[in-house]
Amino acid sequence: MEDNELIKACLKGNSKAQRLLFEKFSPLMMGVVLRYVSSKEKANDVLQDGFIKVFKNLDKFNNQGSFEGWIRRIIINTALDQLRKDKKFQKEIEIDDVSLSLSIDSNAIDLMQAEGLMQLIQGLPEGYRTVFNLYAIEGYTHKEIGEFLDIAENTSKSQYSRARALLRDILKKAGIEREG
């Protein structure tokens, strides 16, 4: 069933269509959530809350852009809301921009599978992980991240720089990254 057909059926209250929509998008969205929260249990809660919002606001999807992208934005916002609720997001002291160059062997990505990369990112402190995901993976600007998280733009930049430095150190210790 195509996305438009699923949407129409869901809007009519068809529970089978709702289940199909959830089954189609939940595995991908679980991957998104796991980049923001540290435990599988918390991720399941965030995913469920996110899909409740998706179904509640389905009538607001206006077919501009991809449906998957629309769902992703709701899921990310739900994960960020959860981080705010937990009050665990640590604001860092603003520092000047740090220029870091990360050079990875051309075969480094081949050496690490997606699961290994996910584990590295999961190992970052929550604030670093959140900013890293929003900037490096989701493509938000530091200004947008600052607005989402209610932090200064420079705080976002410093947390991203520190996350990169920490990841670089981990990769060096694993013999994957080299200077250059």
Tens digit of each residue's pLDDT (9 = 90 or more) over 63-114:
888 999 999 999 999 999 888 887 654 444 333 333 333 444 444 544 445 6
Name the pTM for this structure.
0.69
| Number of C-beta neighbours around residue 103 at 10 A | 11
pLDDT, one tens digit per residue, over 19-53 is: 999 999 999 999 999 989 878 899 999 999 999 99
Distance CA 87, CA 150 (A): 12
Is residue 160 within 8 Å of 136, Cβ to Cβ? Answer: yes
Asked if residue 115 and residue 72 are part of one domain, the reply reads: no
Looking at 34, 56, 86, the residue that finishes a domain is 86
Domain region containing 163: 108-173
CA torsion through residues 73, 70, 114, 45, sign: positive
User: Domain with 131 in it: what CATH number?
Assistant: 1.10.10.10
Q: Both 113 and 62 in a single domain?
A: no
Task: Please state the domain count of the chain.
Answer: 2
Whether 142 is in a domain gets the answer yes
* Interatomic CA distance for residues 84 and 147, integer angstroms: 13
